Every structure is written in C-alpha cells, then in structure tokens.
Copies of this chain bind each other. A is one copy, B any other.
Amino acid sequence: MPMETFFSFLEKRVDDCSSLLCVGLDPHVSDLSAPTADAALAFCLNLVKQTAPYAAAFKPNAAFFEVFGPKGWTVLKQVISAIQDESDRMGSMIPVILDAKRGDIASTAEAYAQSAFGKLGAHCITLSPYLGKDSIDPFLTNQEKGVFLLCKTSNPGAGDLQDLLVTTDDGPQTTIVGRSSSIVPLYEHVACLAQTWNTRNNIGLVVGATQPEALTRVRAAAPDLWFLAPGVGAQGGDLETALKAGLRQDGKGMLLPISRGISRAANPGRAAAEFRDEIISIQYELRHSS
C-alpha cells in the first residue's frame, strides 16, 4: 500500500466530492454582523456547514483571525475543529489549508510548523519561498502535512520580484555574458525548485488564476504539482481559461479558492455548488475536446 501524503489525502477528497473548489474562510470585519471574534466564528461556521459537501478543501486566512488578537486564535482553532467534525460526519476528510504565507528559518520555522499543524490542526500551509529550502523543510518532515509555496501571485505588485528574469541552469541553455545559462522569470525557477524538492508528494504552488501565461509556464516546469490558483471571480480571473492553462494531464492538479464569491452570495451553499458544477463541466469539455 502506498504511503499516505498530503496530496494523496487531497486527491481522495477531490474524488469523493468531484470538486476542485477550495472555500476561502476570510472573515473580513466589513462582512461580519459585528466587529468581533464571535461574529467571525459564526460567519465561518455558517460557511463551513453550507459549503462542506462541495469543498475539496477549506482555506482560512490567518490574518483575519490574528486581527482579533488571542480570541481570534481561539476562533481559528474552533473553525478547524468544526471542519474536522463535518468531515467525520460525511466520512470524507476535508483538508484545511492555513493561508499564512509564513517564511522563517530553522527553529523559528519549526515553531510555525508546530503552531499550524500541531496546535491548530491544519493539514497544509502557504509559505513564501524567499528564504529558500531550509525555511520550508520543517513543514515537510511529516509527509501527511503539506505546503503551497508562493510562486506567481495575482496581485498588481507580483511582477516586482516574481517576473524578474533570472539566469539559472534550468531549461534550454543560451550563452549569457560568456556563460551557458537559461533565462526564465523568477516564478518559473521557483516552480522548477518546487518540482525538485517535492520528494514526498507534499509540495504545491500558488499560481494566480488571473495569469494564464504563467499557469502554462508553471505547468510545463512542474507537470506533477498541485496548484492553488486564487483570483477567479473577485479578482477577474476567467475560470475556463485558468483551468485550460493549469490542469494536469489527468484533469486534476488545481484547487480554485473562492472567498467572497461564496460568502457574499445570498445562498453560499448554492453558490459553492454552482462553482463546483461549473468546474466539472469545464473539466468535461476539456477532456472531450483534446
């Protein structure tokens, strides 16, 4: 029997619910009935209850809990426990991706991993790649826990660093200043590194759904990895274009996080079901047009 890993758990859940939808749990103060941690809890518990049948994963963003101070961390843990309860009830484990974008070194990274996986009970965390491999290692030692590394994000400033052309030993070589090298955008090099580092099937990449060209390049550089692809809906990313550019050959390999598009809908459960179904129908078309 193959070893269980974070991504084998995720694929099991994806198959159970026929969904690539990742429900974002972002209790923005402006969306709450009151500016309190209790209101954030009620907001999240309602979303979890309504959308669980259609969610391949849940993604709480740490910032919107942290801003409530100690009480916010209590609520975050309660929300993750509620997802666990819902999973138990359905008999299908829904992974929790803590969107925290952490990145620190050595014993500090170990403390963050202990906080996210040990204390809070999340199954996966988003991390910045800027500090390199040893800042990520403490999150990889338990292969049942996973990470999504920031690669190409969907915000306007993403290009400040991520689009810079870097000379590396990856890919097709050309002679640059007398040396045989390849020139690729930084984000593509991050994808190459992640593909190499992923020896335990627990590393994925964050690639904005607003960037079809980047999705195509990253998919070529990292054919096996799962992508977390935010930006559909609120940020203007087109679902079909994104799926076409980023899905793996097996028709999976992408999670589409949606937050406000679901939480602000009159009926969040129905909105989640519709997103799930829209993704399925595009997957079907792509499978039968190729």
Q: Which residues of A contact B (CB under 8 A)?
A: 26, 28, 61, 63-64, 66-67, 69-74, 77, 101-109, 111-112, 114-115, 119-120, 128-136, 150, 153-162, 164-168, 174, 176-177, 183, 186, 189-190, 193
Contact = CB atoms under 8 A, between A and B. Distances in A.
B111 A66 contact: yes
Contacts of A190: 161
B132 A159 contact: yes
Contacts of A165: 166-167
A183 to B, nearest CB: 7
Contacts of A176: 176-177
B119 A131 contact: no
A155 to B, nearest CB: 4
Nearest to A119: B69
Contact of A104 (B63, B77, B114, B160): B63
A71 to B, nearest CB: 7
Q: Give the number of times this chain occurs in the complex, counting copies.
A: 2
Given A63-B115, A70-B77, A131-B150, 7 more contacts: A66-B112, A69-B115, A72-B73, A101-B104, A101-B128, A132-B162, A161-B186
Contacts of A177: 174, 176, 183
Nearest to A109: B63
A74 B70 CA distance: 6
Contacts of A73: 66, 69-70, 72-73
Given A128-B128, A131-B157, A189 B164 contact: yes
